[in-house]
Structure 1
Amino acid sequence: MTTSINVPGPASEPAPVRPGRKLGPIADTVSSSHRAWLEPTRERYLASGRTLSDLSRRVLAKSKLSELLRGVGHYPRWEVIHRLAGELDIPGWPLYRLWKQAAMDAGKSRDWVDRSTDGTTAVATARSDRPIEHWALCQTVADGYLAYAGVFLTDDAHKTAVDDTFAILWLCFDEALASPDIRRYAWNILRATVKAKANYRDERPVLAEAAFDTVALRDASPQDQSSRLTESLELFTAISKLPTAQLDVMVLRRLCGFQPKQVSDLLGIPLASVRSDERHANRFLDDTIELPPPTGGLTS
């Protein structure tokens, strides 16, 4: 499933008018991992005021650069992306991480990746320019993000999704800081990243094996494990039918065991909104299944 994971920021100044033909859209065939770095790179280009003709003198032939920014043609080598990043002042490490992940997803060998990064790896992997606010936010939300992603993805995939989220957030950090709530901005990236990697059935996300390790199952006695597992599967199936906001709240509350205040902090929404979403979701679930008691109650 190919899902756009670019998160729209607040309204900004119109992009400078460029001479020549307008850059075409990203191709529909571009994978979600490729889009993870391509969309922020395009946004940086569009906001820069630079032209393809200008960049072609330092990066790549104009026609090839247009293909690169639309995601058509061969997957680009890092040495080209590295030059483009330097021209557009894009931080190297998060871009490199997302580029490498997409290269592996596209079937590129580790030898191809290593050869593509010759002479640029040290710059690409340096994190010295990481904003302190980015580091602090990632430290604060990491456990919650891993718990949420683990409901939908396997162990390796859910860690990758969170790391990708932090890399995308770094690439878009100026927009994140200018948004009404940076926590909400970051959560939207996480949700979209997890959604792009999750498995689906009837257009609904499918429970990952990692989600069997829920709070309810961990607290159950061995003789209760089977019935609790059935309850968890029924609960998740019902939760997957909820609107997005209610789904997020119920996954964090019911399957991850977070308190309402913790959910509010992770989602970047008021506590009253968490409680409202939970009430509406519970009404739907009451009509669908017999709910077990919530973990942690309704206290903040």
Structure 2
Amino acid sequence: MMPPDPSQPPPGRPGRKLGPIVASAGSVHRAWLNPMRDAYFASGRTLGDLSVEVPLAKSKLSELLRGASLYPRWEIVSRLATLLGLPQVPLGRLWRQAALDAHKSREWVDRSSDNTALTTTHAAPPLDHRAFCEHVEPDYLLYAQAFIPDDHEGAVSDTFDILWLSWNDALASPDTRRYAWTVLRGTVMSRTPHIDGRPCFSQAAFDTVALTYLADAEARTRQLSETIALFQVISQLPPTQFDVIALRILWRLSTERVSELLGLAPAMVRSSQRHAEHYLKSTLYPPETDEGTTP
């Protein structure tokens, strides 16, 4: 029997099913909407139940949970979070950033939270969450910087807030490290420029790979074209191979550290690297064919 889809209410739940998040919702908006939707689905409550305790009609609650219509005030989001058992601090930080991304003024943000404290300093995440974040933060920052150098700290901070919101799910997952890496990757890639659906490395990544090792200007110019070609091919790799190669080539992390960050067995990391390197070599340096030979 197929397991139930966690993105939908359980069978027999009264009321209309909640639709998906609208395409126009920004990445940080989605970052707090997804955990809130998960908490709503897990609660077993209906929109009608919530509308009794939140001053919104069912239709407006549906719009809020889909990211539709106007960006919601913090007072409403905070009340809903309390009913669904979500921590206020990480939710509040993500709500604020998403409001600014939606071109809301800081004055609007302050007014929207006048009646509900938007505290960001007096509550602490679970101890094991804090320990995990401290352990991975340096390498998470390096990974994010390869794609979004101007916002890599914000992307990692948002990743840790998303993990705080869903920490119980992370602990209940088959591998917390893999769960966390998936959150980081999704956060970073949602803010990374793409060409033809492929992520683009930043200039910081180019500098890291080879150019900093070459003092001669002419050699740096030659290496640049080769590096561009290499990164274009790397971007075509499947996600796991892509991440393994990026971490091993860009930052020269050990197999053991990559295994730890990705939540993969060392043998899987080595296998992914072998397959990726084979693809890179066969694409960048295809075998020569004898044009005079008749098949």
TM-score w.r.t. structure 1 length? 0.86
1:233-244 matches, cutoff 5 A = 233-244=228-239
1:18 aligned residue: 13
Q: Which residue of 1 aligns with 2:95?
A: 99
Indicate conservation of the 8 Å contact 2:89/2:123, yes or no. Answer: no
Mapped contact 2:6–2:41 kept (Cα < 8 A)? no
What does residue 35 of structure 1 align with? Answer: 30
| 2:154 equivalent to 1:163 | no
Q: Find the counterpart in structure 2 of residue 59 from structure 1.
A: 54
AA aligned to 1:185 is: Y
* 1:72 counterpart letter in structure 2: A
Please tell me whether residue 182 in structure 1 is matched to residue 176 in structure 2: yes
Aligned residues: 278
Q: Judging changes above 3 Å, is the alpha-carbon distance between structure 1 residues 187 and 239 closer, same or farther for their aligned structure 2 residues?
A: same
Is 1:232 the counterpart of 2:244? The answer is: no
Give the structure with higher Rg (CA). 2
Secondary structure in structure 2 of the residue aligned to 1:214: helix
Task: Tell me if structure 2 keeps the 8 A contact 1:48–1:88.
Answer: yes
Letter in 1 for 2:123: S
Listed as ranges, the gaps of 5+ residues in structure 2 are: 286-295
Equivalent residue, structure 1, for 2:43: 48
1:17 shift after superposition = 4.5
Higher relative contact order (CA 8 A, sep 6+): 1
Amino acid at match of 1:65: L
One-letter amino acid of the counterpart of residue 264, structure 2: I
Matches within 5 A, 1:80-95: 80-95=76-91
* Residue of structure 1 in register with 2:188 after alignment: 194
Cα pair 1:16 1:47 within 8 Å, conserved = no
One of 262, 270, 286 as aligned partner of 2:265:
270
Asked whether the equivalents of residues 28 and 97 of structure 2 are also in contact (C-alpha less than 8 Å), the reply is: yes
Alpha-carbon distance between aligned partners in 2 of 1:27 and 1:75, rounded to the nearest angstrom? 12
1:149 to 130, 144, 162: 144
Structure 2 CA distance, aligned partners of 1:153 and 1:172?
A: 24
**SS at structure 1 position matched to 2:146:** helix
SS of the residue 1:221 aligns to = coil
Distance apart, 1:237 and its partner CA: 1.1
1:108 maps to 2:104: yes
Q: Deviations over 1:60-80 (max 9, x none)?
A: 222211211121111101111
Does the Cα contact within 8 Å between 1:215 and 1:257 map onto a contact in 2? no
Give deviations 1:3-53, integer Å, cap 9, x for gaps.
xxxxxxx989x8484322222222232222211111110110111122222
C-alpha displacement of 1:222: 4.3
Cα contact 1:59–1:80 (8 A) shared by 2? yes
Instruction: Tell which deviates more after alignment, 224-233 or 202-211.
Output: 224-233
Determine if the alignment matches structure 1 residue 251 to structure 2 residue 246: yes
Tell me if 1:71 matches 2:67: yes
Structure 1 residues 114 and 240, CA, compared in 2 at 3 Å: closer, same or farther? Answer: same
In structure 2, what is the Cα distance between the partners aligned to 1:127 and 1:251? Answer: 37
Q: Distance in 1 between matches of 2:158 and 2:265?
A: 26
Q: Pick from 207, 212, 224: which aligns with 2:201?
A: 207
| 8 Å contact from structure 1 (residues 161, 194) kept in 2 | yes
The answer to whether the Cα contact below 8 Å between 1:94 and 1:167 also exists between their aligned partners in 2 is yes
Corresponding residue of 1:216:
210
Partner of 2:279: 284
Shift of 1:126: 4.0
Whether the 8 Å CA contact 1:207–1:236 is kept in 2: the answer is: yes
**CA shift for structure 1 position 243:** 1.1
Give 5+ residue unaligned stretches, structure 1: 1-9, 291-300
Corresponding residue for residue 114 of structure 2: 118
Do the aligned residues in 2 keep the contact of 1:215 with 1:255 (CA within 8 Å)?
yes
| TM-score under structure 2 length normalisation | 0.88
The answer (yes or no) to whether the contact 2:208–2:250 under 8 Å persists in 1 is yes
